[in-house]
Structure 1
Amino acid sequence: MAMASLGQLFYISYILTNLVPSTVAQHLLTPFCIPERGNYTNGSSYQANLNSLLTSFSNTTVDYGFYHSSAGEVNGIGFCRGDIGPDKCRSCMNTSSLELRRLCPNSKEAIIYYDICTLRYSNRSIFGTWELDPYLQQPNSDNFWDVNGSNQALTKLLRHLRNKAASGGSLQKYASGEQVDFQTIYAAVQCSPDVPEQQCIDCLDESFKIIPVHMNGKRGGKAMAPSCNFRFEIYLFYEPLPDAPSPSPTNFPPPSFPPPPTNATTGNGMHLKLHALKILLLD
């Protein structure tokens, strides 16, 4: 009886950890401390500027999931997955700020990847230019029974989502959706919002190249880079899109909201359900 109860507990734990989309815990993937950029000394102006920068990210009232700022010579960028609401995003930014300083003490450049957010800082300019390194990839251990079929379906889905995300506005470049003609595959792609449209496409295209090498026929996987990321699974891992952010009425016109999800059909008959968040901002 005790063994049966233990087995049920493991099963419930698996369901809560892997299958319930509302469970978006801040799972740390990895930090990268960049030694090539050198170290700062304790008590230096760089440390004071870094602390000021990361504290501002933790205390921000921004509710659209994209943060960028500078303090002295320190530049920082942070963004959350596009389906994550403001409270969870700010919580992830706060945790990232604390963990970066703990895990990369005295590093002048570092980046940390969580499941739902990315935070980086550097003493060089990092805004508006796409970067692929340092790179993290995590393939699922299970395979599809039809490797070729799954790869083709995944490639088509990711390309559609890539274009949707890249055409987003300056606050968010994110798209999610699923394909249903093969075994259902859910996917989400994203770029750092400061990256221009073509650079977003280039970043994602480069990251997709690891799929045939490290994720060939896999039933799930994720890849994280400073300027872009993607993830795919056979279960729904993302949440419904939150409301689009409302720009200041003194600076911007009313935002353009996306229509409800619809079925799209490609030229070869493949049906896709695409959900993209596009925020159109006029300077």
Structure 2
Amino acid sequence: MSLIYKILLLLALCSCNADAADPLGNFCNLNTNISRVSQISVNIDRLLAELVSKTSSNGYIATSFGRGDDQVFGLAQCRGDVSSTDCSSCIQDAAKLIRQRCPKQADSRIWYDYCFLRYNNKSFAGEVDTSVGIFYFNVGTVTDPENFNKQLGALMDEIRARAVEPKNEGLGKGDTKLSSLVTLYALVQCTRDLSQIDCAQCLAIAVGNFETICSNRKGCRVLYSSCYVRYELYPFFYPLDSNSTVADNGRAIVYP
């Protein structure tokens, strides 16, 4: 039986992006509590060591450690546009912090701007998981919602189509001019364990939140365990657009 977690957190306005070293959020499934001295806990530590050592080589790894009822499964993936150095640093931070924040849970997940990491004592490979998510949205609204939403929809359709092409390994990114001075940037990514159809399904669910949670907002991020979507009116993915001067505005976060 799937669980739906609803927690609402509204943050004060901020004038800058969260640092790449700071997590965007985490989830500790309290229904999977274990002892810190159990074999599962020991296997989690060994699994994390493997994720840290191997993820940066190609930006992704899905593996397991242990046997039988004590086996644990893990996945780590970096954002497809970041360097191997930034990927390695992010996964190291994620592996360290997730054990601090979820010391007794066998099902735990942590999201950063540059990477995502999760583990569970049940296999989850190839399954679309949108049961837990994080939503960031810019508190500023656009001045021409009709044109903005039309352009956003077209850009999202374009990069979602790119993401499901096998050669792109779940990543799609792009930009479009809204005016001579304003450019819209967007990026989507699925975890690489998903099939093309499942990736498309996850991205469709994520983008579906734009109309409700991020309606007419200047920026939005939706992060699930299986996929990630984001758009902004400033460059946020690599290589950065050096011609843009649009600054980040304050934003709020919804964390269900």
> Shorter-chain TM-score: which interval?
0.7 to 0.9
Unaligned runs of 5+ in 1: 1-12, 242-283
Q: Is the 8 A contact 1:30 1:112 kept in 2?
A: yes
Partner of 1:206: 205
1:216-268 deviations in Å (ceiling 9; x for gaps): 11111101000000111111111129xxxxxxxxxxxxxxxxxxxxxxxxxxx
Partner of 1:191: 190
Partner of 1:177: 174
2:133 pairs with 1:140: no
Q: Is the 8 A contact 2:160 2:203 kept in 1?
A: yes
2:54 pairs with 1:60: yes
Q: 1:126 to 1:25 in 2, by over 3 A?
A: same
Partner of 1:240: 239
Q: CA offset at residue 130 of structure 1? A: 1.3
- Partner of 2:231, secondary structure, is strand
Q: Is the 8 A contact 1:93 1:117 kept in 2?
A: yes
1:116-158 deviations in Å (ceiling 9; x for gaps): 1110000111111111121111110111101121111111101
Q: Distance in 1 between matches of 2:148 and 2:22?
A: 27
Q: Is the 8 A contact 1:168 1:174 kept in 2?
A: no
2:229 pairs with 1:222: no
Q: CA offset at residue 49 of structure 1? A: 0.5
Q: Map 1:49-128 to 2 at 5 A.
A: 49-60=43-54, 62-72=56-66, 73-128=71-126
Q: Is the 8 A contact 2:55 2:91 kept in 1?
A: no
Q: Distance in 2 between matches of 1:153 and 1:234?
A: 12
Q: CA offset at residue 60 of structure 1? A: 2.3
For residue 80 of structure 2, what is the amino acid of its counterpart? G
Q: 1:206 to 1:53 in 2, by over 3 A?
A: same
Runs (4 or more) in structure 1 with deviation over 4 Å come to: none
- Partner of 1:215, secondary structure, is coil
Q: Is the 8 A contact 1:66 1:172 kept in 2?
A: no
Q: Distance in 2 between matches of 1:44 and 1:74?
A: 12
1:178-218 deviations in Å (ceiling 9; x for gaps): 01145420000000011000100000001111101011111
Q: Distance in 2 between matches of 1:157 and 1:168?
A: 20
Q: Distance in 2 between matches of 1:68 and 1:87?
A: 19
Q: Distance in 1 between matches of 2:137 and 2:55?
A: 35
| TM-score when normalising by structure 2 | 0.82
Q: Is the 8 A contact 2:51 2:75 kept in 1?
A: no
Q: Map 1:146-165 to 2 at 5 A.
A: 146-165=144-163
For residue 86 of structure 1, what is the amino acid of its counterpart? S
Q: Is the 8 A contact 1:69 1:76 kept in 2?
A: yes
Partner of 2:230: 231
For residue 63 of structure 1, what is the amino acid of its counterpart? S
Note the aligned Cα RMSD (angstroms): 1.9
Count of equivalent residues:
221
- Partner of 1:213, secondary structure, is coil
| TM-score when normalising by structure 1 | 0.74
Q: Distance in 1 between matches of 2:34 and 2:136?
A: 32
Q: Is the 8 A contact 2:56 2:87 kept in 1?
A: no
Unaligned runs of 5+ in 2: 1-13, 241-256
The structure 2 residue matched to 1:168, chosen from 142, 166, 169, is 166
